[in-house]
Amino acid sequence: MSIMIPAWVDGTLTPVEKLDAHKRGLRHKAVSVFVIRDVAVLLQQRAMEKYHTPGLWANTCCTHPDWDEAPDACAVRRLEEEVGITGLQLEHRHHLEYRAEVGGGLIEHEVVEVYVGHAPADLSVVPNPDEVMAVEWVDYHALLETLERNPERFTPWLRIYLTDHAETIFGADLVQA
């Protein structure tokens, strides 16, 4: 079964098959979630079976909403489907757009709604092995240092978020701490 996502074709929002949207580099809707605990960010390492950017580290979860799905509902759904997190209150932080080559001739041209959730110390994280091969809590500032030294370990969108949108996503307190 093919997954239909909302993409703009000739200026009109249209349901388009997900892989086709990436092959054609169509501008499309997306959702990204960051879960934070104190100064640590929960990252996921994408499963090797993913059709683009397998094995790279990304934010807590990211996806494309279904054709008729609200972004906030999508964020909650995928947080559970990818990393098994439920019951976490999410806060909408940013609306942004980026375009990045993700390998294999595929392009992510996304209009993204970004959400942040603040995790309690006892948050249960249960990665779905079809989506995620590992998760790790990483100190925000250590993450920036690793990103600078080894950018190839991270997805293009995580690099964009941390380089161009960090203060809006994480807040000045965390970024400047």
Tell me whether residue 95 is in a domain.
Answer: yes
Contact 57, 45 (CB under 8 A): yes
pTM over cut 0.85? yes
**Rounded distance, CA 35 to CA 79, Å?**
9
Tell me whether residue 142 is in a domain.
Answer: yes
Residue reference for tokens 């400047």:
176
**For the domain that residue 167 is a member of, what is the CATH number?**
3.90.79.10
Tell me whether residue 70 is in a domain.
Answer: yes
Tell me whether residue 177 is in a domain.
Answer: no
Q: Taking 70 as the threshold, does the pLDDT of residue 177 lie above it? A: no
- Report the number of distinct structural domains present in the chain: 1
Point out the residues that are catalytic: 62, 110
Q: Which domain range does residue 26 map to? A: 4-172
Tell me whether residue 10 is in a domain.
Answer: yes
Q: What is the mean pLDDT of residues 151-168?
A: 96
- Indicate the helix (H) or strand (E) that contains 169: helix 166-170
pLDDT digits (tens, 9 = 90+) for 118-140: 999 999 999 999 999 999 999 99
